[in-house]
Amino acid sequence: MAPAKILVVDDDPAIRKLIHRYLTQQSYQMESAEDGKTALAMFEQFNPDLVILDVNLPDANGYNLCQEMQSRTGVFVLMLTSRTDEADKIRGFSQGADDYITKPFSLGELGVRVGAILKRQRIVTTAEQQCLIFDKLAIDPVRREVKLNEDFVPLTALEFDLLHFLASHPGRVWRRAELIQEVWDYEYVGDQRVVDVHIGQIRKKIEIDTSQPALIQTVRGVGYKFESPPAAG
């Protein structure tokens, strides 16, 4: 398989070079940009699999740039920021970011996060290829598409993985730590509320009433479960 292509966008030359050098040593194909304008031009030319994107750029807002890039291709985005505020994380995820890492960070941790995100490109096995149908909700793991009442539901890569995982085990209750292990695919060292943020985003897109979710239900004190809707009579 060809090495994954990663674009690093950060206006700090020291951080940019450090990440570029470290990930090149991990056999990724690398390009970098120091601002939003260069990043978009490079994005078109390079067509990366993953963008490591700084939130604060001199000429652009990282959140907007994330949305712009994801509207063009199904690229993965790892947000890089010095902000540790929970609201910033929630904003980053709601704009489509697949993961979030705050400065200062270790290169080892960055490498683990990058590897975990890129694993989501893996080819699904035959057993996992079956389309899951729940009344008006259809989840297609091959095309990575979700339809509700025949309309496409726009999900980020991580939201899709989380929904597909829960829907593959209807009725089973999962703790947040178990979901992180299964879906994020690594020992997530951050706040487990990251699961709640993503569940909230999915609910906004597939639930009729988010205050009383029917499909992804909260099990108090434990975690979450996916409930098959009763067949329409």
Q: Which residue has the tokens 């699904």?
A: 124
| 80/190: higher pLDDT | 80
Total Cβ atoms within 10 A of residue 47:
12
Quickly state the pLDDT bin for 119 (edges 50, 70, 90): confident
Quickly state the pLDDT bin for 165 (edges 50, 70, 90): very high
Pick from 52, 17, 60, 14: which is nearest to 35 by CA?
60
Whether the per-residue pLDDT at 231 is higher than 70: the answer is no
Q: Which domains does the chain have, with CATH numbers?
A: 5-121 (3.40.50.2300), 126-226 (1.10.10.10)
- Enter the tokens of residue 89: 């994380």
Q: Which residues contact 72 (CB under 8 A, 6 or more apart)?
A: 43, 44
Amino acid at 5: K
Give bridge partners of residue 76 from the DSSP assignment.
Answer: 50
The C-alpha atoms of residue 104 and residue 85 are separated, in whole angstroms, by 14
| 84/136: higher pLDDT | 136
Q: Taking the model in full, what pTM does it have?
A: 0.62
Cβ atoms of 192 and 132 within 8 Å: the answer is no
- Strands annotated E in the chain: 5-9, 29-33, 50-54, 76-81, 99-102, 132-134, 137-140, 145-148, 151-152, 174-175, 216-219, 223-226
Cβ atoms of 90 and 65 within 8 Å: the answer is no
Among 32-36, 85-89, 124-128, 151-155, top mean pLDDT goes to 32-36
Q: Which residue has the tokens 């598409």?
A: 145
Whether the per-residue pLDDT at 16 is higher than 90: the answer is yes
